[in-house]
Amino acid sequence: MFKLAFMQNAFLVATVISILCGVIGVFIIARQLSFLTHTLSEIGFSGASFGLWLGWTPLNGMLSFTIISALVAGCLGRDKPLKGTVISVISAFFMGLGVLFLTTAKSGSSYATNILFGSIVGISSQDVQQIVVIAGLELVVMFFLYRQLKFDFFDPIGAQTSFRHSWILNLIFLVMMSLSVSVVSQIVGALLVFALLTLPAASAQFWGRSVHALTLWSVGFALVGTWLGLVLGYWTNLPVTFFITTIETLIYLVSAGLGRLR
């Protein structure tokens, strides 16, 4: 299995993205941004379709749409967060726009399936390099902003009194979240991106008692889901996305059950 080039690429991308999801997911759960994550993934679907329409790679189109959307959301929500109704309207509009771009691009149903549900074993070498670079840069930024993010996301009242420009930090985080949505979509697809960005971190809440512990548990759960999902997908020839989402869901259910017992 590991002698095959496409499986080597798949495991490399899965490992890097799992670490990124484990780290950034803790802050997504803390700020309750799961709904916005799902919306960005649907905007990313539209961006990927737009990229195909222009002749770009789906990843580049997705990156352009999600980054612009994150910047707009950060600026509009500077004084108060966007309402759920507004986010729902935006989400519905971009899903329809994505269908339009796919139809006019005439790229075929296989492209639509890959965008919506991911195709990690079919990632090109160019995409692998781009994903690793983006995820690596995000992890570097998270390393330098970790203390500020921890303070702002887990103690927002205290952060408001000591950090006067916290909205800048939130804007940076939204951009990083948009980048994460784009790269994670390459594994699980635009519709299931929240599985890796939120489920491992949500499961970690039942095990960790500090931000450091939450991050370690979250990264561990994400790695287990992606690695085991790739192995099972290779053995059974069934979609890797199915196994990843199922494993992460089972981890969450078991964690929640044990948490209640304790």
Digit-coded pLDDT (tens) for 36-83: 888 888 888 888 888 888 888 778 888 888 898 888 877 776 555 555
Give me the pLDDT at residue 77, please. 61
Q: Topology of 5-261 in CATH?
A: ABC transporter involved in vitamin B12 uptake, BtuC (1.10.3470)
Q: Can you say whether residue 80 is alpha, beta or left, with left for phi > 0 and alpha for psi between -120 and 50 degrees?
A: beta
Q: What is the pLDDT of residues 174-224, one digit of tens each?
A: 899 999 998 888 778 776 788 899 999 999 999 998 999 999 999 999 999
Q: Cβ contacts of residue 194 below 8 Å, gap of 6+?
A: 34, 37, 38, 41
Cα–Cα distance measured from residue 249 to residue 65, given in angstroms and rounded to the nearest whole number: 28
Q: How confident is the model at residue 141 (pLDDT cuts 50, 70, 90)?
A: very high
Domain spans, the chain: 5-261
Query: pTM for the full model?
Result: 0.86
